[in-house]
Amino acid sequence: MQSSHEAPSTASSSSSPRVGVIMGSKSDWPVMEHAVTMLERLGVPYETRVVSAHRTPDLLFDYAKSAAERGLSVIIAGAGGAAHLPGMVASQTALPVLGVPVESKALKGLDSLLSIVQMPGGIAVGTLAIGKAGATNAGLLAAQIVGLQDATIRQAVEAFRAEQTETVLDNPDPRPS
Ligand code: RP5
């Protein structure tokens, strides 16, 4: 039996997860669910769970150290405020880590953004925009990375982009209908 801080997923899509979507708190879910929505739309197997840099540091280390051997290719990490999760995960794995700054109540996510983006040279986190757009694009970018080795996912990304373009071109009038 695994101890409580070992690193299985708590929720995942059906086949073996390729992307890990973690976040510092359950309170981050309303933002981070947009990453999961994109992964589901593009057919990317994922897992998701709460991993806190400050409240569950042992779990963070176990999760990051075991991620590659468990078959993950990318980790999306969202956090708010003193948002140390993405950087600390990146310090423990050579997998690409995408950081999503979650809006904080006090500082609207500027604190989260600066905490995630200002990594020291040598340990990389790919930092996305604050909030929903960042989470959505983290899911998209993760799919693009996985798609480098998976033609089905690559085609799903291309189809998504073509559909998006078509939707804009088909609706040129900006006024509410
Ligand atoms: C961070 O602290 C989390 O990522 C979250 O954005 C923020 C607040 O967490 P809660 O107090 O809502 O659990 O670690």
Q: Which ligand 1 atom is at minimum distance from the Cα of 23?
A: 4
Ligand 1 pocket residues where CB is under 6 Å: 23-25, 27-28, 52, 79-81, 102
Binding-site positions for substrate read 25, 28, 55
Give CA torsion, residues 71, 127, 61, 80, to 10 deg: -130
Q: What is the pLDDT of residue 10?
A: 60
Q: What is the pLDDT of residue 177?
A: 80
Q: How far apart are CA 155 and CA 131, in angstroms?
A: 27
Q: Which residues make Cβ contacts (< 8 Å) with residue 85, sequence separation at least 6?
A: 22, 23, 24, 51, 52, 53, 60, 77, 78, 79, 99
In 3D space, the residue among 78, 93, 95 whose CA is nearest the CA of residue 145 turns out to be: 95
Least confident of 9-18, 31-40, 165-174: 9-18
Domains and CATH numbers, the chain: 16-170 (3.40.50.1970)
Q: How sure is the predictor about 9, in pLDDT bands with cuts at 50, 70 and 90?
A: low
Q: What is the pLDDT of residue 4?
A: 44
Mutational pocket test of ligand 1: of 23, 25, 48, the residue with most ligand atoms within 8 Å of the beta carbon: 25
Calculate how far, in angstroms, residue 59's C-alpha sits from the geometric centre of ligand 1: 16
Binding-site positions read 25, 28, 55
Q: How far apart are CA 65 and CA 91, in angstroms?
A: 9
Write down the ipTM of this complex: 0.97
